[in-house]
């Protein structure tokens, strides 16, 4: 039995965007993919905006927690997707398996200024964008050539 591809989503704090991505991909991919998230400086909690947005969209974050990317240094990873500028600018650990790395810049809804409803809508917008990209990602041959895969993943960030 072949191990499903492993995708690691990175943000600095691993409190919002990367947590939402992990949950969405786990839901969409089921047993066909491994979905993880981590941060270079984990916040130690999942932001309430992420939890509320995911709940409204029908996704579970049960058993998820804020994690350090150090937890994944010895785990084979196929794809690393950074979701914030700070994480993309940092020197990442050397991952086992030499994964394809790509950056999907998305705004941090925790910095949204406004009412609680406006802040929640900002988080839902980011979650919906992640959902759209991840649905398209699951249609890609993840076992394909890494050069082509890298280009395909990068294109998902801009479409």
Domain ranges of the chain: 6-158
**pTM higher than 0.75 for the full model?**
yes
Per-residue pLDDT of the chain (159 residues; tens, 9 = 90+): 478 899 999 999 999 999 999 999 999 999 999 999 999 999 999 999 999 999 999 999 999 999 999 999 899 999 999 998 776 666 777 778 889 888 999 999 999 999 999 999 999 999 999 999 999 999 887 765 455 566 666 666 666
Tell me the catalytic residues. 11, 84, 92
Q: What is the fold, at CATH topology level, of the domain defined by 6-158?
A: Rossmann fold (3.40.50)
Distance CA 45, CA 54 (A): 15
Q: What 8-state DSSP symbol labels residue 5?
A: P
- What tokens does 5 get? 């591809």
- What tokens does 158 get? 């801009």
């Amino acid at each position: 039995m072949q191990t499903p591809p492993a995708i690691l989503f990175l943000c600095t704090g691993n409190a919002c965007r990367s947590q939402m991505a992990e949950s969405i991909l786990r839901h969409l991919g089921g047993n066909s993919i491994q979905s993880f998230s981590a941060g270079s400086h984990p916040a130690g909690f999942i932001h309430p905006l992420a939890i509320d947005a995911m709940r409204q969209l029908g996704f579970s974050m049960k058993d998820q927690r804020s994690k350090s990317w150090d937890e994944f240094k010895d785990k084979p990873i196929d794809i690393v997707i950074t979701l914030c500028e700070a994480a993309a600018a940092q020197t990442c650990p050397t991952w086992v398996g030499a994964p394809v790395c790509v950056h999907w810049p998305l705004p941090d809804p925790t910095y949204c200024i406004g009412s609680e409803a406006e802040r929640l809508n900002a988080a839902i917008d980011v979650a919906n964008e992640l959902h759209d990209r991840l649905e398209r990602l699951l249609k890609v041959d993840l076992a394909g050539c890494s050069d082509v895969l890298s280009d395909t993943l990068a294109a998902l960030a801009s479409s």
